Amino acid sequence: MSTASVPPVATVGPPRLTAGFEEFGRLDLRAHEQVHGGVGPLSVDDLMRLAEAIDLRGRGGAGFPFHRKVQAVVESADKQDKPVIVVVNATEGEPASWKDKVLLTRAPHLILDGAALAAYALEADEIVIGVADDGVGGASLSAALAERRMPVPASIVTVPHRFISGEGGALVRGINGLPHIPPGVKVRASDSGVSGLPTLLSNAETYSQLAIAARLGPYEYGAVGLADEPGTVLLTIGGSAARPAVVECPTGTPLRDILELCEAPVGPGLLIGGFHGKWITPEAVSVVDVSRKGFTKVGGTIGAGITIPLGDSTCPMGEVARVVHYLAGESAGQCGPCRLGLPDLARTVDSLVIGSAAVDMVRAAASVVKGRGACSHPDGTSRFAISALEVFTEDLAAHAQGDGCGKPVKGVLPLPADAPSGGTKRLSVDWTRCDGHGLCAHVVPEFIRLDANGYPAFPPSPVPVWLEPGARKAVNMCPALALRFGEGKGGH
């Protein structure tokens, strides 16, 4: 139950979700009840009224109203005459996000309180909690479950710690014993989720906020924060921060105050909402407050509360290129926009960085995948790349000259160290053998293209796992025996 890998926690104003952390570190059941007190059950009508009164939204990124999710599950269960399953999404697959892991490791009983309230109100058959296989939070959650009685059987399901594994449909598929990837066809969990039953699926912080609101009631819950977005939020502050932290603050708090607390210089831009979010300018950062409405005004989205100031010491577009490659590798590879479009977008961003592609080429590559995927992954990746073009105009002008901006790529945007693009093996070329036959680009066009001289070109990042069979086939079919595939630095 170690919390060594979890960032420190800070608060602006009185803590709610993070109450008791200073005194107890991790709250076991006794400490949890001492800090928060008990909570009684709610009827389904009371649950929906409470959620609507405080405008409780999903904290996993989409921000969908919680009371409408509950209503959809109730209607589906009545129509189908089937029992309900309650699912807690605590997978937090994005490398830049830590807020749910903070709750898992330090306040697991708040998550369980919220799930128990929902299960009791919906007369659910089961509670399922999804966690990642990264070793952070699972033991703490298991210990918390062992300390208490839940209103219905509760179990923990472990899923791969990948970007797309935390998507709601992917989590449901994983619980059902299927591959942990988004379904190719959009299916509402409220209609057919776990075991084909109506399923209430929401994020770990969302259930924790419900547990706080059930104790306080809507009036006291709304005593902090904005009138139309009451309560607190959890932000993960990383990037250039000298003191990275998960920060709990009331809605309406100026973002600049949070960044000052974490000693985080903005530099040329700040990413809000994570790798499916948007970049915003330093000017926008100086005026925005922490709220859905506040970030919408400056063209951003609060998403899951991921906040990454870039700072001044790293190459902005070089950082963007790293993440686009990672996102291309993290796709499910089950539709054209992911299999072909995202690798092409990554290659085009690479070309932009070295000055051999224009901004319009990146926009064109992003437009090909936007709105066409089987899930939201292509859209999110496109949004990330396009917003970078709008914010890092000075850096783009420097790279357009072909000499770059002169700054190293320091890896300020966090990626998994062991698999920066979904795999560990790279392609390389023995240039003493390559004759520019071009067959490899036809065998695996998702990763290899031909340059202006007809020779193979591909990114230096690892080959995505789902493209490894194609890479091996390209190596085996190379008539000059020039292509290599294995561990190493790679090269093109």
Question: Using one digit for the tens of pLDDT, what is the confidence trace for 69-116?
Answer: 999 999 999 999 999 999 999 999 888 999 999 999 999 999 999 999
Confidence band for 279, pLDDT divided at 50, 70 and 90:
very high
Tracing tokens 């001044």 back to the chain, one arrives at 312
Domain boundaries, the chain: 9-221, 232-309, 316-400, 426-486
Higher-confidence residue of 20 and 350: namely: 20
Residue among 179, 176, 235 nearest 205 (CA):
235
Give the three-class secondary structure for 164.
Answer: helix
DSSP conformation letters of 211-262: HHHHHHHHHHHTTSB-SSSBSEEEEEE-TT-SS-EEEEEETT-BHHHHHHHT
The yes or no reply on domain 232-309 and CATH 3.10.20.600 is: yes
Q: What is the mean pLDDT of the chain?
A: 90
Give the three-class secondary structure for 433.
Answer: coil
- Looking at 3.40.50.11540, 3.40.50.2000, 3.30.420.40, 3.30.70.260, the CATH number of the domain 9-221 comes to 3.40.50.11540
Q: Tell me: the pLDDT tens digits for 159-208? A: 988 888 878 888 999 999 998 888 877 789 999 999 999 999 999 999 99
The yes or no reply on domain 426-486 and CATH 1.10.645.10 is: no
Which one-letter DSSP state was computed for residue 340? I
Does the pLDDT of residue 22 top 60, yes or no? yes
Does the pLDDT of residue 369 top 50, yes or no? yes
Which one-letter DSSP state was computed for residue 457? E
| Architecture (CATH level 2) of domain 316-400 | Up-down Bundle (1.20)
Residue type, 419: A
Listed as own residue / partner, the contacts of 115-119 with beta carbons closer than 8 Å and 24 or more positions apart are 115/86, 115/88, 115/150, 115/154, 115/207, 116/150, 116/151, 117/39, 117/41, 117/42, 117/47, 117/210, 117/211, 117/214, 118/47, 118/70, 118/86, 118/200, 118/207, 118/210, 119/86, 119/150, 119/151, 119/152
Q: Tell me: the pLDDT tens digits for 414-431? A: 988 644 444 568 889 999
